Amino acid sequence: MLTVQQAVFTVESLIGKVQQQKQLIHQLIQENEHLRHENKQLRKENEQLKYRVQELEARTKKNSSNSHLPPSSDRFEKKRSSREPSGKKPGGQ
């Protein structure tokens, strides 16, 4: 059997533990709110970056053959000669 002193000690320790748990719950709620806010910001930034990537990809796909741009503006594609090699050595007149 518990004595009165042991019972009081047990109740006091339970009250202390409840208060600790309450503080921990409050901290976790604040951390959760902070993470939700950060997540929202990162999602917004991610959408902006996705849009920017789409714009840049569309810009790199344009060249003089599929837009109004002059041939001098073709930057990203290597020019391939339409000529086929003859098999002869270059140079030497």
- Sketch the domain layout of the chain as residue ranges: 26-61
Written as one letter, the residue type at 17 is K
Residue 75 pLDDT exceeds 90: no
The predicted pLDDT at position 7 comes to: 66
The residue behind tokens 């959408």 is 47
Residue 89 pLDDT exceeds 90: no
2-16, 21-35, 46-60, 67-81: least confidently modelled range: 67-81
Give 2's Cβ-side CA count (13 Å radius): 8
Structure confidence by residue, pLDDT tens digits, 6-32: 666 788 889 999 999 999 999 999 999
What's the pTM value of the predicted model, to 2 decimals?
0.54
| 77 vs 36, more confident | 36
